Amino acid sequence: MTFKVKDFGTKDYIEIYNLMRNFTLSRNSSTKDEIWLVEHPSVYTLGFSKKTEHIIDVGDIPIVSTDRGGQVTYHGPGQLVIYLLIDLSRRPYKIKKLVSLIETSVIQYLKDSGMNAERKQGAPGVYIKDCKIASLGLRVKKNCTYHGLSLNVDMDLTPFDGINACGMKGISPTQLIDFKKNITLNKAKGELLSYILEYLDKNPITLSDVA
């Protein structure tokens, strides 16, 4: 396995954001690539374009400006977030191919779970019919990626009403629990991780291997 996988449980977004920026800036040629699994308390995050017109009514949920790609999105309890800290110089793919592989891994996981998941032209992420179930946003520094993807598992989707998620008007969210009964965040974590590793590394692992 060429990835080190870490499960952070529930952590504030800013704490993880600072950790992954510091990891990326301080890593060298011998630093192992890592995948981080985390669940965040409620927070909105803005991509580096900082287009605030997509913020409608966020109430008392905090907004954090970040340097990832994409527009505004929401993270909260019941959502699986996976951060991908990858040195592209070691990989047989560059950033566009990496994004495609990540989307494909999510789509295949959902299809194998009985859902008709798909991409949408010009709208990164994964959709079921016209509803978004997974979002994706990365940043590359020193040819190394950070940030990652989020999958709505079993959560309160109401906070998505306060934004044009990912800068797209009229896109409604959906979640895994609506299609896959009895799914839990922990179960989805292990299942999706195995698909991501299959596509990115060809060396599936289980949660028992996760630090």
Listed by start position, the domains of the chain span 3-209
Looking at residue 155, its pLDDT comes to 98
Please give the biggest Cα pair distance in the chain: 45
Catalytic residue IDs: 166
Integer Cα distance of 161 and 173 in angstroms: 9
Spell out the residues 6+ positions from residue 89 whose beta carbon is closer than 8 angstroms to its own: 143
Integer Cα distance of 25 and 138 in angstroms: 15
Q: Domain 3-209 adopts which CATH fold?
A: BirA Bifunctional Protein; domain 2 (3.30.930)
DSSP 114: T
What is the average pLDDT value for the chain, to the nearest integer?
Answer: 89
Spell out the residues 6+ positions from residue 194 whose beta carbon is closer than 8 angstroms to its own: 204, 205, 206
Which residue do the tokens 């990365």 mark?
138
pLDDT tens-place string over residues 27-40: 999 999 999 999 99
pLDDT tens-place string over residues 120-148: 887 789 999 889 999 999 999 999 999 99
Start-end of H helices in the chain: 13-26, 95-112, 185-200
